[in-house]
Amino acid sequence: MGDKKILKLNSSGRSPWYHADGTVTKSYVIGVAGGSASGKTSVAERILKNLNVPWVVIVSMDSFYNVLSPEQSKLAHENNFNFDHPNAFDYNALYDSLYKLKHGKSVNIPIYDFSLHARSEKTTTIYGANVIIFEGIYGLYDKKIRDLMDLKLFVDTDADIRLARRLQRDIAERGRDLEGVLQQYTRFVKPAFDDHIQPTVKYADVIIPRGLENVVAIDLITKHVQRELTERKMHLRWDLANTPVEDEVPPDVLVLPETNQIKGMHTILRDKNTPRDEFVFYAERLSTIIVEAAFNLLPFEKTTVTTPVDAEYEGMVFRKQLCGVSILRAGGTMETGLRRVHSDAVIGKLLIQTDPSTGEPQLHYCKLPDNVKDHQVVLMDATIGTGAAGLMAIRVLLDHDVPEDQIIFTVFIATPVGLNVIAKAFPRVKIVTSMVDPVLSKETLYIEPGIGNFGDRYFGTEDD
């Protein structure tokens, strides 16, 4: 079994947008170059904040410094290694990572430790992105890397201010002393800037004089990127205040017919006074019906069997492998239903937690069978509210090479807004829900009338 643990994702989310013809809307890549301590990292962070769109990541060139030999490491600790020469970086690894990210694949980015002059043990896993902000002194140096960029920026800050800031920062944050910073600066940093970094300004689309202070330039850049994202239809937000509300259920979503039986089960499940054992019974009964409906969408083949009276019966058989993937915890409530319908199904699990204040999802745990791509996947959650957790779960499945049309997403309740978010991003994923609830509260992100916290009611953890 493939077992990945993602400790913390230090970005504001992720996912490129997949189309019905299998093509991907590539991530929007912004390159930020400039001298050391010109404000590249600060500008990248400010753009990320001001953009206010989901799934923006910053990739720093520092993560791609070449690994030093013991001799080079010794020189580095004596401030005698040239970290400012263009050859100090691994451009191939950098290109591979940016290319993968731009095309919706996940990457592990090393985290650099300036005190050790080495990559730390930790890496950050990034699952694709809408916007990638790539920053570093040689951000615009390599042609192949430049060609991945949609927007190229150069931060232009006076040399004396750069030196003053570098002194302060490197002493406070990078374990250096005054003498060492000055020695490194005069010997390597300044000449490299003049000879190699400053000349890359010619590749920039926009020069930002004074970096972070230049509020007007940052504002113009932010607006430009937002416009570009809107044109590429990558403007979906988790902040529902700015999300256009869509009342219509997308045409391809399968909503179970509202029979008395379904309505009766919903009545029991939605009633806050329903005791837990009854809740569990009806949740499992309803999940069985939902999974049965999902099964009808799976590919069956014709087959012939012989009956006990030696007659032939022309029937249908499901020959594919089935994997149920529950979005923990609430998706686990559908597992019994899945097993009742198909006892051979293997189960995968994703722990995705949504920040209640922003509605933004984070992937914390991922356990999927190694060959998940060869399975028909029934993705299970209790509800689709904003659609954020579902989007991330689908993104993770695609990243494990599960074709989009091999995924069926099953839930008890969905909102029109969440259904639209998912259907637009992943039009070939089939969605099955037993009911659609009209309201998703913009304040609390609760579904109304809703069922309450499905996981808590099912697992009996309401008082935890």
Ligand X SMILES: Nc1ncnc2c1ncn2[C@@H]1O[C@H](COP(=O)(O)OP(=O)(O)O)[C@@H](O)[C@H]1O
Ligand Y SMILES: Nc1ccn([C@@H]2O[C@H](COP(=O)(O)O)[C@@H](O)[C@H]2O)c(=O)n1
Task: Give min distance, CB of 176 to ligand X, in A.
Answer: 13
Q: How far apart are the first and last CA of the chain?
A: 31
Task: Give min distance, CB of 402 to Mg ion, in A.
Answer: 37
Classified as helix, coil or strand, 172 is: helix
For residue 39, the partner it binds in ligand Y, ligand X, Mg ion, none, with Cβ less than 5 to 8 A by kind, is ligand X
Residue number, 34 or 361, with CB nearest to ligand X: 34
Q: Which residue in the set 31, 34, 361, 390 belongs to the binding site for ligand X (CB under 6 A)?
A: 34
Q: Which residue in the set 11, 12, 41, 222 belongs to the binding site for Mg ion (CB under 5 A)?
A: 41
The verdict on whether omega for the bond into residue 227 sits within 30 degrees of 0, i.e. cis, is no
In terms of Cα–Cα distance, which of 236, 248, 241, 254 is closest to 416? 248
DSSP letters for 67-94: PPPHHHHHHHHTT-S-TTSGGGB-HHHH
Residue number, 85 or 237, with CB nearest to ligand X: 85
Residue number, 15 or 41, with CB nearest to Mg ion: 41
For residue 212, the partner it binds in Mg ion, ligand Y, ligand X, none, with Cβ less than 5 to 8 A by kind, is ligand X
Q: Which residue in the set 27, 36, 386, 406 belongs to the binding site for ligand Y (CB under 6 A)?
A: 36
Write each residue from 387 to 426 as x if it is in contact with Mg ion (CB under 5 A), else as -, in one continuous string: ----------------------------------------
Whose tokens are 């189309």? That residue is 19
Strand ranges for 95-150 from DSSP E? 106-113, 118-127, 131-135
For residue 213, the partner it binds in ligand Y, ligand X, Mg ion, none, with Cβ less than 5 to 8 A by kind, is ligand X
Residue number, 58 or 76, with CB nearest to ligand X: 58
What is the enclosing helix (H) or strand (E) of 254? Answer: strand 254-255
- Residue 407 dihedral angles phi and psi, to the nearest 5°: -110, 130
Q: How far is Cα 460 from Cα 453, in angstroms, rounded to an integer?
A: 10
Residue number, 41 or 333, with CB nearest to Mg ion: 41
Q: Are 206 and 216 in contact (CB under 8 A)?
A: no
Q: Which residue in the set 189, 290, 431, 445 belongs to the binding site for ligand Y (CB under 6 A)?
A: 189
Task: Give min distance, CB of 171 to ligand X, in A.
Answer: 10
Nearest residue to ligand Y on Cβ basis: 36
Q: Which residue in the set 4, 19, 165, 187 belongs to the binding site for ligand X (CB under 6 A)?
A: 165
Residue number, 208 or 377, with CB nearest to ligand X: 208
For residue 83, the partner it binds in ligand X, ligand Y, Mg ion, none, with Cβ less than 5 to 8 A by kind, is ligand Y
Q: Are 282 and 268 in contact (CB under 8 A)?
A: yes
Q: Does 243 bind Mg ion (CB under 5 A)?
A: no
The verdict on whether omega for the bond into residue 416 sits within 30 degrees of 0, i.e. cis, is no
Query: How many angstroms from the chain centroid is the CA of residue 429?
Result: 17
Q: Does 41 bind ligand Y (CB under 6 A)?
A: yes
Q: How far is Cα 142 from Cα 346, in angstroms, rounded to an integer?
A: 46
Q: Does 198 bind ligand X (CB under 6 A)?
A: no
In terms of Cα–Cα distance, which of 333, 435, 217, 337 is closest to 349? 333
| Part of the chain binding ligand Y (CB under 6 A), chosen from 4-12, 35-43, 240-248, 249-257 | 35-43
Q: Which residue in the set 6, 30, 37, 417 belongs to the binding site for ligand X (CB under 6 A)?
A: 37
Please list, in sequence order, all residues whose beta carbon lies within 8 angstroms of the beta carbon of residue 405, skipping any fewer than 6 positions away.
428, 429, 430
In terms of Cα–Cα distance, which of 136, 120, 105, 131 is closest to 40? 136
Q: How far is Cα 448 from Cα 35, in angstroms, rounded to an integer?
A: 53
Q: How far is Cα 23 from Cα 463, in angstroms, rounded to an integer?
A: 46
In terms of Cα–Cα distance, which of 356, 419, 369 is closest to 390? 419
Residue number, 10 or 441, with CB nearest to ligand Y: 10
Q: Does 50 bind ligand X (CB under 6 A)?
A: no
Task: Give min distance, CB of 437 to ligand Y, in A.
Answer: 48
Residues at the site binding ligand X, with contacts judged by CB under 6 A: 34, 36-42, 165, 169, 211-213
Residues at the site binding ligand Y, with contacts judged by CB under 6 A: 36-37, 40-41, 62, 65, 76, 83-84, 114, 117, 137, 189
